[in-house]
Structure 1
């Protein structure tokens, strides 16, 4: 199937639209590793730099499940010593991209900031991802997805009326506003370099990335179509025809029939009183409409409703668990999930009509061997031996 993953690991020759691209990833947590994983699965050769003095991660995964390391070569360096810093700068000369997710100033204090890196390699694209950006009053502060959503105004908007805001996993700021915006910036900078030959620095922040995801909401507010109170708007559980409802078996269905023609189909099959069809957007009817939908939905199980609505455009879906989603017929037909060793995970995305992905696997022995890695970056056997003897290279 065109565009499907090849199912090979990091040790095989890479394929995909980014084949031949060299990326240096400074090891960290969260969105930068996800961005690096996606670049790897699109064909880039990713070298993950791990510090020899790194402490224990917050969540320690068995290696076969550790997607922060899959699909890469792994090189451990002592970056507290000048020889380790100099080695990384030499590697950056051969790289197309360098990505890091440290607080502002960390790379500069190591002697690896963008100024010196781009002086060595003017074509280097230096991607930086932080919570708050490289400057500003909060730039040096620690935070997590929930922190950035709070400052962006988005956490306030997520949840039900008269209830506390709900953290949306770490999908919105970390992965959406962080990893996806970083990738967009990297690819845009690659296009710019193809025309100018010049690299540049990308300052991506999760607070701004998450805010950008909400740009349409700000537009609705400006037009008077959205208010600044959660649970009262069209897409935030305020509308009874865009919400979840509990079924007879204590599971749920998702109802999303915003358009009148879709709502009419939903009302016909549920069924609902005809007065609701003509008054779908009459907010004075919404409390009664919500109660009517909730009462009807409780009469059948989730899967009974799913079967009833399966061949319609009523925009009704069963709320599947993470495990159930892997086995849904549509996801199976699309091969939307893939197996990598003992790990079942989402398949690489997006798909390309002329390229195939490389499904990332655990780093093979060859991609953990410092000598093999450094030879690919142009170092001699003698230089590698000297670095190993000096303790610059970890195992």
Structure 2
């Protein structure tokens, strides 16, 4: 593997959402990630052909974690690993005999990454939840939506991926750096409710300084300000503008030839009238016509592209923001590096396809592997 994390080995206990995203980020940037599938388990990277982008660029083995032999295999894998990622509820890995105390005893340098919604402790720790619940408790969901309307979740980007998987990936790399310097591994308690709260740090700063009203659709960045919003165009499509700084706002006014808009766009008293004027203005031309006028300027403009359109935009094409892998479009690894270049992602085809190879690398004899397969302890 190429990339800045080349040489790291991470063991990933298969799950859905944020855990696999963390594994994908580490694998995208060069770490060897071995994903442990459970026989007959799913969804996502389940037995059979897989097209799960979150599971790309891994080696995959299938192990029954509820058997003593399966537990022994995982412990063998972790003896020489830099890290492990798991996303079960608190206590599950301990009951399997694979908790951090056991694995850190085997490998004191191991970084044990725990991905949950509520965290390892607290009144909600053992209850079920999803992204929408975690961002609700963090205060984030309250800020998403228009004035007078109910909160609108931003799909599952903030809890699962920004506050969850990305936060755990950062924590894994940080703790691995510490382990390499000190020889001491540790467990990471990564909770999506905590991570979502951190992602809103700037909003908390505004709120604490009296510059953010604790209601939706009333502030600079939540559609309260009409110059930071999306607008429908003549052809029923949408564009987005965000000229917050005065010089960028002046550039927008100049290009659209809007003489009726206020020169001081921060005066909230003018926002309702300004929003109505901008709404009427942008409905006068198609999205393509607005692109012809505003793209490439400092008016802080972009077309609102659909999932089908985004990979076709010239900017995304020139940068290679999206890739075609096995005939399917997916985001390219990010960020980019000038020296430690990353490889193009590769998709695994069958869960457990690398079982024999990985076990052989641990010293298991072919006859022993065949016996484990015959008894359903491992797949492949």
TM bin, normalised by shorter chain, reads over 0.9
Partner residue, 2:372: 387
Match of 1:119 among 105, 108, 125: 105
User: RCO (CA 8 Å, sep 6+): is it higher in 1 or 2?
Assistant: 1
1:81 Cα shift?
1.3
CA contact (8 A) 1:127 1:201 kept: yes
After superposition, the C-alpha distances for 1:119-178 in whole angstroms (9 at most, x for unaligned) are: 011011100010000000000111111111111111111000001111101101000000
Moved more, 340-349 or 61-70: 61-70
What is the distance in 2 between the residues matched to 1:144 and 1:293?
A: 37
CA contact (8 A) 1:64 1:342 kept: no
CA separation of 1:247/1:59 partners in 2, compared to 1, >3 Å: closer, same or farther? farther
Partner residue, 2:353: 368
Equivalent position SS for 1:287 = helix
After superposition, the C-alpha distances for 1:198-250 in whole angstroms (9 at most, x for unaligned) are: 11111101000010000111111110000110100000000010001111111
What is the distance in 1 between the residues matched to 2:201 and 2:354?
A: 46
Note if 1:45 corresponds to 2:32. yes
CA contact (8 A) 1:53 1:78 kept: no
What stretches of structure 1 of length at least 5 have no aligned partner?
1-13
CA contact (8 A) 1:272 1:292 kept: no
TM-score, normalization by structure 1: 0.92
Match of 1:321 among 306, 311, 318: 306
1:270 Cα shift?
1.7
CA separation of 1:366/1:319 partners in 2, compared to 1, >3 Å: closer, same or farther? closer
Partner residue, 1:309: 294
1:365 Cα shift?
7.8
CA contact (8 A) 1:22 1:96 kept: yes
1:64 Cα shift?
5.1
Note if 1:215 corresponds to 2:201. yes
1:389 Cα shift?
4.3
**Mapping of 1:214-233 within 5 angstroms?**
214-233=200-219
In the alignment of these two chains, the number of paired residues is 380
TM-score, normalization by structure 2: 0.95
CA contact (8 A) 1:24 1:99 kept: yes
After superposition, the C-alpha distances for 1:329-368 in whole angstroms (9 at most, x for unaligned) are: 1111111111110211111111111112122222268971
Instruction: Output the aligned Cα RMSD.
Output: 1.9
CA contact (8 A) 2:143 2:215 kept: yes
**Mapping of 1:1-395 within 5 angstroms?**
14-54=1-41, 56-57=42-43, 63=49, 65-273=51-259, 276-277=262-263, 279-363=264-348, 368-395=353-380
Equivalent position SS for 1:65 = coil
* Structure 1 consecutive aligned stretches of length 4 or more whose deviation exceeds 4 Å: 58-62, 364-367
What stretches of structure 2 of length at least 5 have no aligned partner?
none
